[in-house]
Amino acid sequence: MTFDQLMAEGAAALEEAGIVNARLESRWLLAHVTGHQSSELISRGQDNVPEEAVGAFRNRVSRRAGREPIQHILGTTEFYGLEFLTDARALIPRPDSEIVVEAALGQLAPNESARIADLGAGSGCLLAAILANRPLASGTGVEASAEAASLARENLLRLGLSARADVHEGRWSEWQGWSDVDLIISNPPYIPSGDLAGLMPEVRDHDPAAALDGGPDGLVAYREIVRIGAAAMKPGAWLVFEIGHDQAEAVIALLDAAGFQSVSLFRDLGGNDRAIIAKRPVV
């Protein structure tokens, strides 16, 4: 079985399973099991694939055809120029969230020794991306899930950020550091409970439900964070949210009612509302 033949076999199986980028993902999986760069597979097209790699490839194609996320199968994904470990312990970092990092970085000067908190840190991708681009900043990831907290610690360690970051394992409502930070960022659960069943199987069946379920209207976490933040955040500190594409009006209303100022909305590359920033007023 040559590289070209095996890649074509994988692409056909993935296409039949409804995978949109079937040929591209087949190439990624073949590169993964053989240890070659994806670009190398073109020049090796007529070479025979080692038998053990053929079996490993078919196993991974079968997993992907069953709609296991490609990021879980590969074990890593890129986010904001950094490579993160990815598995079922936390949400997969996704490109849409990069605008949330951009919004946060816009409030932090490059030479500022700010303190950051990431509420519901998950994989740690938001906190890590900020710290990697603000070398004088430090931060805390707040994560209620022990499994997700362990993944965040692993990612911060492998990215060389552990000296400037820690992970608090517990609910953000019980965390005592609200008044100590200059910026709070959060991608909280925001999918309305009734919409969970209709999500793509890669999300519905493989992302942690607690990281998705935002309650009946998807706004439960926003209400809690805004309520606590309005009372406990440092005056002048920034709050940065990721939001669902149809939640801007509701979240802005929560911030306005709580007295936050300088509210701004950011859209992702697809043109969807994706991030909101707001400042706790200096009294």
Check residue 236 and give its pLDDT. 96
Cβ atoms within 10 Å of 155's Cβ, excluding its own: 30
Check residue 19 and give its pLDDT. 95
Check residue 241 and give its pLDDT. 98
274, two tokens: 């994706």
Find the radius of gyration of the CA atoms of the chain: 21
Cβ atoms within 10 Å of 130's Cβ, excluding its own: 25
Cβ atoms within 10 Å of 242's Cβ, excluding its own: 24
Secondary structure of the chain in the HEC alphabet? CEHHHHHHHHHHHHHHCCCCCHHHHHHHHHHHHHCCCCCHHHHCCCCECCHHHHHHHHHHHHHHHCCCCHHHHHCEEEECCEEEECCCCCCCCCHHHHHHHHHHHCCCCCCCCCEEEEECCCCCHHHHHHHHHCCCCEEEEEECCHHHHHHHHHHHHHCCCHHHEEEEECCCCCCCCHHHCCEEEECCCCECHHHHHHCCHHHHCCCCHHHCECCCCCCHHHHHHHHHHHHHCCCCCEEEEECCCCCHHHHHHHHHHCCCEEEEEEECCCCCEEEEEEECCCC
Q: In the chain, which residues have pLDDT < 70? A: none
Check residue 115 and give its pLDDT. 97
Check residue 112 and give its pLDDT. 86
Contact 150, 178 (CB under 8 A): no
Check residue 45 and give its pLDDT. 84
Contact 2, 47 (CB under 8 A): yes
109, two tokens: 């000067």
Contact 91, 123 (CB under 8 A): yes
Check residue 21 and give its pLDDT. 94
**pTM of the full structure:** 0.93
In the numeric block, the tokens 């605008």 are attached to 99
Check residue 39 and give its pLDDT. 81
